[in-house]
C-alpha cells in the first residue's frame, strides 16, 4: 500500500491548501467585501421544504442569513406560491420585506400574482412585475441561481 497516497494527488486547485506538515484542508471560498457580484435567488413557495410552520421558520432563517450576508447585489425572483410573500397577510411578509430592503430588485411573476390574488403595495420601487416568459428567459440564461423550494 502506498503510504504517500496524499502526496501523489495534484493539489493545484486553489480551494485546497497543503501545509508543510502534510495536512491537507479544503477551504471554502469566501466572499470578500469588494466582491460586487449578484446573487440570484429563485423563490417558488412561501415556505421552505414543507407547507408547515417549520417550513416557514426555515425560510425566515434563510432570509435572515441573506440579510446578514456580504452580498451587495441580491436579485430575487418570485414565482408560483413564492409571490404570496408579497401579501401583507402572509406570516413571512415582515421578514421578506426586510430582505427586499437589502435587494437590488425583486421580480415577481404577474401570472402567479393574478392566480393567487395577491394583495400588495405597488409603491415599492424595487418590485418589478413581469410575465413568466421573461422570468423563464432569465432562469435559462443566468447561471448560479439559489433555488428555494
Look up the CATH number of the domain holding residue 51. Answer: 3.40.1260.10
Specify whether the CB–CB gap between 95 and 148 falls below 8 A: no
Residue 9 in domain? no
Residue ranges making up the domain that contains 82: 38-148
Per-residue confidence (pLDDT) for residue 145, from 0 to 100: 86
What angle (nearest 5°) sits at the alpha carbon of residue 37, between those of residues 15 and 29?
15
Specify whether the CB–CB gap between 46 and 56 falls below 8 A: yes
Number of domains the chain contains: 1
Per-residue confidence (pLDDT) for residue 86, from 0 to 100: 95
Residue 130 in domain? yes
Residue 117 in domain? yes
d(CA 38, CA 36): 6
Taking the whole predicted model, whether its pTM rises above 0.85 is answered as: no
Residue 10 in domain? no
Backbone angles phi, psi at 120, to 5 degrees: -150, 165
26 in helix, strand or coil?
Answer: strand
d(CA 100, CA 76): 8
Residue 144 in domain? yes
Each residue's pLDDT expressed in tens, for the chain with a length of 149 residues = 444 444 444 444 445 555 666 666 555 555 555 555 789 999 999 998 877 889 999 999 999 999 998 887 899 999 999 999 999 999 999 999 999 999 999 999 999 999 999 998 766 789 999 999 999 999 999 878 889 88
Amino acid at each position: 500500500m502506498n503510504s504517500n497516497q496524499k502526496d501523489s494527488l495534484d493539489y493545484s486547485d486553489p480551494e485546497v491548501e497543503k501545509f508543510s506538515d502534510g495536512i491537507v484542508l479544503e477551504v471554502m471560498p469566501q466572499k470578500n467585501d469588494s466582491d460586487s457580484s449578484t446573487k440570484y435567488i429563485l423563490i417558488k413557495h412561501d415556505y421552505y421544504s414543507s407547507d408547515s410552520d417549520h417550513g416557514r421558520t426555515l425560510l425566515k432563517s434563510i432570509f435572515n442569513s441573506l440579510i446578514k450576508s456580504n452580498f451587495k447585489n441580491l436579485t430575487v425572483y418570485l414565482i408560483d406560491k413564492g409571490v404570496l410573500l408579497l401579501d401583507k397577510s402572509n406570516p413571512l411578509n415582515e421578514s421578506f420585506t426586510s430582505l427586499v430592503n437589502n435587494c437590488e430588485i425583486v421580480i415577481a411573476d404577474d401570472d402567479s400574482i393574478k392566480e393567487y390574488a395577491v394583495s400588495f403595495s405597488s409603491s415599492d420601487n424595487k418590485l418589478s412585475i413581469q410575465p413568466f416568459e421573461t422570468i423563464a428567459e432569465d432562469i435559462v440564461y443566468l447561471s448560479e441561481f439559489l433555488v428555494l423550494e
